[in-house]
Structure 1
Amino acid sequence: MSHSPLLNLPGPSQDLLDDIDAALASARDVVTAYDPELVVIFSPDHYNGVFYRMMPPFCISTKATGVGDYGTQAGPLDVPEDIATGLAEAVLAADVDVAISASMDVDHGTVQPLQTLFGDATMRPVIPIFINSVATPLGPLRRSRALGTAVGNYLATLDKRVLVIGSGGLSHDPPVPTLATAPPAALGRIVGGEPMSAEQRQARQVAVMEAAHNFAHGESKLQPLNPEWDHRFLQIVDSGHLSDVDGWSTSWMAHEAGHSAHEVRTWVAAFSALATQGQYRTESRFYRAAPELIAGFAVRTAVPSR
């Protein structure tokens, strides 16, 4: 599923919110019926918990705390440390380099889906897995597929009902700074993780709302959404032909769908984990190009075909 800070802020039309709410309600019904014993979520970070002072491509959390940005739930998540550690060991044994964090701060990219699906982000044991989707340079997309495969093979040994979530927008290019583009005032934040005051967080929210308003009204220089690219990607995950993304270069993705389109890495990892159980089928399907959210917004649920 996609996420967006703007879902919790004034601005999006009621028509858009109703459409998204209906899609998320359908996903929530699937999750409620499945009643997972463990949740594994692949998600990005937006310089709220992982910074350039140490930027791994992948990181498995053994303890995690929500930062509470954009109205999401703050506080510790219920991370089963023993299972998370075993997962990290298994992924490393599968030749996928992954870091671990015994004190990971996670933002709306992780917490919003948990709140959406369970009402409370601490309702189920959860293992957050960070996938760098913003901070260049980025590795090839096939590495996210390899990560998901390694995770799925380990989860299959647990004899638990596991819900796997990929949290990320599709085509979108919001004004997120990088090491090469950040103004001097933002470098301390994205490199050193300098904390934001309440006033700074409020100013950031206002800036995000203004950027979305301008984008939705055609008054922005941000890169347009690319629904054609979004549908192409969704066809790949729906069909299970995940290796089709192996040849997608990072520069091509950014050119076609925006720099933050790299958040689809979380989807690739999640579906790759599911694919370790054989063929799968996607069931509920939703997509909407949403300029008011500065994103292509999609929701999918999928289960093994058997």
Structure 2
Amino acid sequence: MSHSPLLNLPGPSQELLDDIESALAAARDFVSAFDPELVVTFSPDHYNGFFYRAMPPFCIGTAAAGVGDYGTYEGPLDVPAELATDCARAVLDADVDVAISAAMDVDHGTVQPLQKLFGEATAKPVIPVFVNCVATPLGPMRRVRALGAAVGAHLATLGKRVLVVGSGGLSHDPPVPTLATAPPAALKRIVHGVPMTTEQRQARQAAVMEAAREFATGHSPLAPLNPHWDHAFLDLLDTNRLAEVDGWDNGRIAAQAGNSAHEVRTWVAAFSALATQGGYETGNRFYRAAPDLIAGFAIRTAVSTR
């Protein structure tokens, strides 16, 4: 499923919010019927927990806390440390390099889906898996698929009902600072992790809302949404053609769908985890090109056909 800080901020039309809420309600019904014993999230970060002072391509948290950005949950998550450590060990044994964090900070990219699906971020035990989708240079897509497959192979040995969540927007190019263009204050945050003050967080929220307003009215330098690219990606998932992403070029992804379209890496990891069990079928096929959210917003549910 996609996430967006703008779901928690003034600006998006009520019609859009109602449409997304209807799709989320269907996903909640799906999750409730499955009643998972464990949740594993593949999520990005927006320079709230991971910074250029040490930017891993992947990281598994053995303990984690929400930072509370954009009105999302702030505080510790229910992370089963031993299960998370075993998962990290299994991924490393599968020849996929992954970092481990015993004090992972996670933002709305991780927390918002948990709150939307369960009502509370702490409702279920969760193993958070960070996937770098923003801080270039990025690794090849085939490594993301390998990560998902390694996690999925391990989860299949647990004898538990496990819900795997991939959290990310499709085509979108929001105003996220980069190492090459960030002003000094932003550099301190994205490189050294200097915490933002309350005033700085409020200013960032205001800037995001203004950027969305300009984008929705067609007066923005941000890259446009690409529904054609989004639908092609969703069709790839629906038809279990995951291996095709192995040949995707990172620069071409950004050029066609925006810099933050790399958040589809979380979807690739999640579906690759499920695909280790064989075939799967998708349902709840929601998609909306949503300029008010500066994102192609989508939701898919899927179950193994075994």
Q: What is the TM-score normalised by the length of structure 1?
A: 1.00
- Give 1:176 deviation, angstroms: 0.4
Q: Structure 2 CA distance, aligned partners of 1:166 and 1:178?
A: 24
Q: How many pairs align?
A: 306
Secondary structure in 2 aligned to 1:287? strand
Which position in structure 1 is the counterpart of 2:148?
148
Letter in 2 for 1:138: L
Letter in 2 for 1:196: M
The one-character-per-residue Cα deviations of 1:155-212 (angstroms, maximum 9, x if unpaired) are 0000000000000000000110111121222100000000111111000000000000
Gaps in structure 2 of 5+ consecutive residues: none
Which position in structure 1 is the counterpart of 2:78?
78
Which position in structure 2 is the counterpart of 1:223?
223
The one-character-per-residue Cα deviations of 1:184-243 (angstroms, maximum 9, x if unpaired) are 221000000001111110000000000000000001010000000000100000000101
Secondary structure in 1 aligned to 2:10? coil
Q: Structure 2 CA distance, aligned partners of 1:173 and 1:54?
A: 24
Letter in 2 for 1:276: T
Aligned pairs for 1:14-29 (under 5 A) are 14-29=14-29
Which position in structure 2 is the counterpart of 1:188?
188
Secondary structure in 2 aligned to 1:189? helix
Secondary structure in 1 aligned to 2:165? strand
Which position in structure 2 is the counterpart of 1:202?
202
- Give 1:283 deviation, angstroms: 1.1
Q: Structure 1 CA distance, aligned partners of 2:37 and 2:289?
A: 33
Secondary structure in 1 aligned to 2:129? strand
Which position in structure 2 is the counterpart of 1:297?
297
Letter in 2 for 1:291: P
Secondary structure in 1 aligned to 2:12? coil
Which position in structure 2 is the counterpart of 1:67?
67
Letter in 1 for 2:155: L
Which position in structure 1 is the counterpart of 2:276?
276
Secondary structure in 2 aligned to 1:177? coil
Q: Structure 1 CA distance, aligned partners of 2:249 and 2:13?
A: 35
Secondary structure in 2 aligned to 1:25? helix
Which position in structure 2 is the counterpart of 1:31?
31
- Name the Cα RMSD after superposition: 0.5
Which position in structure 1 is the counterpart of 2:263?
263
Q: Structure 2 CA distance, aligned partners of 1:44 and 1:239?
A: 24
Secondary structure in 1 aligned to 2:267? helix
The one-character-per-residue Cα deviations of 1:87-124 (angstroms, maximum 9, x if unpaired) are 00000000000000000000000000000000010000
Which position in structure 1 is the counterpart of 2:112?
112
The one-character-per-residue Cα deviations of 1:219-273 (angstroms, maximum 9, x if unpaired) are 1010000000000100000000101111111100000000000000000000000
Q: What is the TM-score normalised by the length of structure 2?
A: 1.00
Secondary structure in 2 aligned to 1:246? helix
Q: Structure 1 CA distance, aligned partners of 2:171 and 2:283?
A: 22
Q: Structure 2 CA distance, aligned partners of 1:209 and 1:130?
A: 26
Q: Structure 2 CA distance, aligned partners of 1:25 and 1:95?
A: 38
Letter in 2 for 1:8: N
Letter in 2 for 1:106: V
- Give 1:78 deviation, angstroms: 0.3
Letter in 2 for 1:80: P
Letter in 1 for 2:186: A
Q: Structure 1 CA distance, aligned partners of 2:72 and 2:125?
A: 18
Secondary structure in 2 aligned to 1:154? helix
Q: Structure 2 CA distance, aligned partners of 1:268 and 1:182?
A: 29
